[in-house]
Amino acid sequence: MSGLGFPSALSENVIVLPQTNQLKGLFTIIRDCTKPRSEFIFYANRIIRLIVEEGLNYLPVSPKTVTTAQNASFDGVEFDGRICGVSIMRAGESMEQGLRECCRSVRIGKILIQRNEETQQPVLFYKKLPKDVATRYVLLLDPMLATGGSAIKAIEVLLDNGCKQEQIIFLNVIASPAGIKNITAKFPKLRIVTAAIDDSLDERGYIIPGLGDFGDIYFGTE
Ligand code: PRP
Ligand code: URA
């Protein structure tokens, strides 16, 4: 694994979590194919929580001053604007809990896109979005960014529904260099927050070293 991938080519809108020993340890568990599924779920959830917390840093804030129990002022900030999540089914649904833990009663839309395993082309089957999605910041959820085909299709759906690139923050666990390149070339103003940029893709469009099929492991359909 190259860790930071190709840092010199990364746009400022691609944010890679700091590669701390904690994060490396979590990845060592979820990438280890000998570990039981229960460990995969537990430690993937921990990585997802870190990604969500980082993603929230890219929401706008305005100054807010409060009074503490010491009758002193504290100059802080509060979030501006409203948010929603949109998960790319099915693997993206694994990230919903992490988002809900940080943002109580957050609205979550769904877009069902499946890769055709033969052609690797993404196919849109279903979408359901908050009616006012165009007025919200959208945290787009999908743990795996391989060719980028699924995410690009999902982003196109959001743009067709009135969202702007600048409003979309794509939260992702593992990306491939090709996936990052394809998305940033098409949507330069969209932000991507990822925990890892891996080395490459195999001939089936799976990420190397990757971890296999995230959705299958997480939901137990492998
Ligand atoms: C996976 C993953 C992404 C997509 C990434 O979904 O969750 O949505 O593949 O590949 P891409 O960048 O080449 O489009 P998959 O189609 O395997 O379905 P799943 O969510 O049911 O596992
Ligand atoms: N989807 C996955 O779940 N894993 C990959 O490596 C690529 C796409």
pTM over 0.90: yes
**Where does ligand 2 bind, in terms of residues with CB under 6 Å?**
91, 144, 146, 206-207, 210, 213-215
Beta bridge partners of 63: 77
Splitting the chain (222 residues) into consecutive groups of 10 residues, what average pLDDT does each group show? Answer: 52 97 98 98 98 97 98 96 95 98 96 85 94 98 96 97 98 98 97 98 96 98 93
Judge whether 32 counts as a catalytic residue.
no
What is 7-219's CATH topology?
Rossmann fold (3.40.50)
Q: Is ligand 1 within 6 A of the CB of residue 213?
A: yes
Active-site annotation holder among 115, 136, 184, 198 = 115
Domain ranges of the chain: 7-219
CA torsion through residues 90, 97, 19, 76, sign: positive
Q: Please identify, by atom number, the ligand 2 atom nearest to the C-alpha of residue 208.
A: 6
Active-site annotation holder among 80, 119, 132, 135 = 119
Structure tokens at 155: 């982003």
What is the reported pLDDT for 9?
A: 66
How many Å lie between the centroid of ligand 2 and the Cα of residue 195? 15
Q: Please identify, by atom number, the ligand 1 atom nearest to the C-alpha of residue 150.
A: 14
| CA-wise closest residue to 211 among 198, 195, 221 | 198
What is the reported pLDDT for 220?
A: 98
Instruction: For the chain, give the longest Cα–Cα distance.
Output: 65
What is the reported pLDDT for 8?
A: 53
Judge whether 147 counts as a catalytic residue.
no
How many Å lie between the centroid of ligand 2 and the Cα of residue 215? 8
| CA-wise closest residue to 28 among 15, 16, 40 | 40
Cβ-proximal residues to 70 (8 Å cutoff; 6+ apart), any chain: none
CB 77 within 8 A of CB 93: no
The C-alpha atoms of residue 19 and residue 38 are separated, in whole angstroms, by 24
Structure tokens at 102: 């940080």
| CA-wise closest residue to 202 among 153, 151, 147 | 147
Judge whether 119 counts as a catalytic residue.
yes
154 alpha-carbon distance from chain centroid: 12
CB 153 within 8 A of CB 113: yes
What is the reported pLDDT for 4?
A: 43
